[in-house]
Structure 1
Amino acid sequence: MRLMDRGKFWVAALMACALLLAAAPAGALTKVSLQLQWVHQAQFAGFYLAQDLGLYRQAGLEVEIRPGGPGVDPLGELAARRCDFALSWLSEAMVARSQGVELVNLAQLVQRSALLLVVFNDSGIRNIRDLNGRKVGLWRRQFAVPPRALFAKAGIQVEEVNQSVSMAPFLQRAVDAATAMLYNEYDQIYQAGVDRDEITVFDFAEQGLNFPEDGLYAMQDTWKQRAQVCRAFTRASLEGWRRAFAQPELALAAVMKRVNAAKLASNPAHQRWMLKSMQDLYTHRVGTALLGQLSPYDLLQVNRILVSQGFIPAPVEAQGFVAEAWKEP
């Protein structure tokens, strides 16, 4: 058996064992649901492995993982009690919290912003101030908060263009700059045939706007009344991510199973890139031992920027907002 064939064999064998474990009889399981921010992709690989490897069942949970999409607002679903847990960016959750939505951060997953602005080198844009008066593609909701804070910080005004899920407007030069995620659209640009030396990237973290992104949230009364369930779900999810980073091919198989079932236009090479990027973003500064930690400095910095730019009237206090369900009680 060739080495590559052996590798595929063992991935298939591990997946088969995982499915048997997940299907094993158990006592009464608590049913909960998780609302993702986007369609199935490696951005959520750890949750898939926690499900496929039976980690949730071992924690006494039966978990429904719901994909998101352009018309899905995870925090809206959470506030309406249509799901038990949801993923959201820290900045969006803080804005919602300041507006009276009693959200609790159970775990901060992404530690470093992956948000980028990309421009073609021949556009003449060399720094952020060169975007003044230019057309800039922006996503809505939480994705628009950091760019607007950056433009306010630089003292410029741009012509905002509603950016869809496609990078076609940028590739066709319909906008001067576009929003991209390091783990997704950035790679899509190169897959479309653009060379790396043809574009300039403005990294928000390097621009002093490191807004930690994906975090795991519940409503405050859920945390108070069902803390055990929240802890069990959080810890099993984080263990799923540790397994994903330790066994990337197994994680990739779990991702592609869902991508293919949903008939999504993607490929293993892109999803592998995304998974590697997620590992860098999750373990930035905290490693794997402290996955889920929300840095007090990051909370302070995001509060400062959101208040100074008028997104929230006053800082969001850590007490009541940061639950740290990943820690031992």
Structure 2
Amino acid sequence: MKLSSTAALAAAASALALAAGSAAAQDLREIRYGTNWVAQAEHGGYYQAVVDGTYAACGLDVEIVPGGPQANNRMLLPVGRIDFYMGGNMIQAFSAVQEEIPTLVVAANFQKDPQILMSHPGVYDTFESLKDSDNILVSREGLATYYQWLITEHGFDEESTKPYTFNPAPFIADETAVQQGYLTSEPYAIEKEAGFTPNVFLLADHGFDTYSTTIETRRELVENEPEVVECFVNGSAIGWYNFLYGDNAAALEAIKADNPEMTDDKLAYSIEKLKEYGIVDSGDTLEMGIGAMTDARMKSFFDKMVAAGLFSADLDYTQAYTLDFVNQKVGMELKPAQ
């Protein structure tokens, strides 16, 4: 679905400071942004920037291309079928350097990865106690990535794991089970299906300090059209401020149009958790704005992934990202005073 709007927020135009005044007099640059899953609240800032006219204010006509189980938008980025991609976390970006794929992370719209472990209340009630379970349900991808960090950093062991098939029934049936999940998704499903609220442990709050929901693009776009990258990064930041703190009704309708299975209560739950846990707006964003990234944070996470055996220490991980388009406090004035 291609979303468009002729309305441009005056606040967005002034915040962008990207020649918005002349954008209306020129043809908009068509941009395709591929997400990594079906439309949901976790994509809200981008939908907001489309329906508000924020991207259009600096010259972009953005089409959101939803991902999903039958789509692989990541593969479309290097070959030019999409212009920007929503990365999951920095493991993927470091892998791109390792595989010599010419892509770059240009912003991080989630300061915290929403990856969680959850348990039944009254059984394993602390993060450290989770490793006492002999029934830790983890997907194959999770076992190869963050679970290796759990082993080296927190003393978990692989023998305690069992395959997670994205079916909550085994977890619900066994009160000693521990299950992986996404902060804004699986706990909600458990509450609805099983009638209890699980313990939720956000890995980011226990040292898994990757950035998440990153904006990736091709190196050639950064080199040849930096103004396009700047507009998309800044427009996305403004979109996230407006989605979290302003009137997001139109964005929510656009999400539901792209994903008819999405419900109002699920959207509301997800937004509540994004705010409660500071997924989008916390840490460095409080001083530098949504999308913030730092070299120190990148090095910290890379070193942990080296220790976990995912990468060689001599990999030049700094080639995975650039700070040229972030940390400029764009859109911060849209956040209500605390």
**TM-score of the aligned structures, taking structure 2 as reference length:** 0.79
Residue segments in structure 1 that go unaligned for 5+ positions in a row: 1-17
Q: Does 1:211 align with 2:237?
A: no
What per-residue deviation string (whole Å, max 9, x for no partner) do you get for residues 38-87 of structure 1? 11111111111111111111111111101111243343221232211001
Secondary structure of 1:109's partner? strand
Secondary structure of 2:303's partner? helix
The counterpart of 2:253, out of the listed 252, 256, 266, is 256
Structure 1 partner of 2:311 = 312
Q: Hey, what's the Cα distance between the residues in 1 that align with 2:231 and 2:200?
A: 39
Structure 1 partner of 2:281 = 283
Q: How has the CA–CA distance of structure 1 residues 270 and 62 changed in structure 2, closer, same or farther, with 3 Å as cutoff?
A: same
Secondary structure of 1:291's partner? coil
Secondary structure of 2:163's partner? strand
- Counterpart code for 2:268: R
The counterpart of 1:159, out of the listed 158, 161, 165, is 161
Secondary structure of 1:283's partner? coil
Structure 2 partner of 1:109 = 109
Identity %: 19
What per-residue deviation string (whole Å, max 9, x for no partner) do you get for residues 244-267 of structure 1? 1221xx324422333245321x32
Q: Hey, what's the Cα distance between the residues in 2 that align with 1:256 and 1:179?
A: 29
Q: Hey, what's the Cα distance between the residues in 1 that align with 2:150 and 2:27?
A: 50
Q: Hey, what's the Cα distance between the residues in 2 that align with 1:25 and 1:228?
A: 16
**Residue 297 of structure 1, CA deviation:** 2.9
Structure 2 partner of 1:129 = 131
**Residue 298 of structure 1, CA deviation:** 2.0
- Range 167-176 or range 187-196, more displaced: 167-176
| Residues 109 and 214, structure 2, Cα contact 8 Å, conserved in 1 | yes
What per-residue deviation string (whole Å, max 9, x for no partner) do you get for residues 20-53 of structure 1? 527x975311111111111111111111111111
Q: Hey, what's the Cα distance between the residues in 2 that align with 1:45 and 1:268?
A: 13
- Counterpart code for 2:107: A
**TM-score of the aligned structures, taking structure 1 as reference length:** 0.81
Query: 1:23-62 counterparts in 2 under 5 A?
Result: 27-62=26-61
Q: How has the CA–CA distance of structure 1 residues 47 and 261 changed in structure 2, closer, same or farther, with 3 Å as cutoff?
A: closer
What per-residue deviation string (whole Å, max 9, x for no partner) do you get for residues 212-268 of structure 1? 211111111221111111111111111111111221xx324422333245321x321
Structure 2 partner of 1:6 = none
Structure 1 partner of 2:11 = none
Q: How has the CA–CA distance of structure 1 residues 144 and 194 changed in structure 2, closer, same or farther, with 3 Å as cutoff?
A: farther
- Counterpart code for 2:254: K
Structure 2 partner of 1:119 = 119
- Counterpart code for 2:290: L
Q: Hey, what's the Cα distance between the residues in 2 that align with 1:326 and 1:155?
A: 36
The total of aligned residue pairs comes to 302
Q: How has the CA–CA distance of structure 1 residues 222 and 41 changed in structure 2, closer, same or farther, with 3 Å as cutoff?
A: same
Query: 1:1-329 counterparts in 2 under 5 A?
Result: 19-21=5-7, 27-88=26-87, 89-121=89-121, 127-131=129-133, 133-138=134-139, 140=141, 145-153=145-153, 154-157=155-158, 158-164=160-166, 166-173=167-174, 176-196=177-197, 199-247=198-246, 250-264=247-261, 266-279=262-275, 280-285=278-283, 286-287=285-286, 289-314=288-313, 315-318=315-318, 321-326=321-326
| Residues 171 and 178, structure 2, Cα contact 8 Å, conserved in 1 | yes
Secondary structure of 1:205's partner? helix
| Residues 139 and 179, structure 1, Cα contact 8 Å, conserved in 2 | no
| Residues 91 and 302, structure 1, Cα contact 8 Å, conserved in 2 | no
Q: Hey, what's the Cα distance between the residues in 1 that align with 2:118 and 2:307?
A: 26
Residue segments in structure 2 that go unaligned for 5+ positions in a row: 9-22, 329-338
Q: Hey, what's the Cα distance between the residues in 1 that align with 2:265 and 2:189?
A: 11
**Residue 159 of structure 1, CA deviation:** 3.2
- Counterpart code for 2:274: M
- Counterpart code for 2:226: A
Q: How has the CA–CA distance of structure 1 residues 143 and 20 changed in structure 2, closer, same or farther, with 3 Å as cutoff?
A: farther
What per-residue deviation string (whole Å, max 9, x for no partner) do you get for residues 104-149 of structure 1? 1111111123211112247668613313x53413263x78511232
Q: How has the CA–CA distance of structure 1 residues 105 and 208 changed in structure 2, closer, same or farther, with 3 Å as cutoff?
A: same
The CA RMSD measured in Å over matched residues stands at: 2.9
**Residue 163 of structure 1, CA deviation:** 2.8
Q: How has the CA–CA distance of structure 1 residues 173 and 307 changed in structure 2, closer, same or farther, with 3 Å as cutoff?
A: same
**Residue 178 of structure 1, CA deviation:** 1.7
Q: Hey, what's the Cα distance between the residues in 2 that align with 1:180 and 1:62?
A: 34
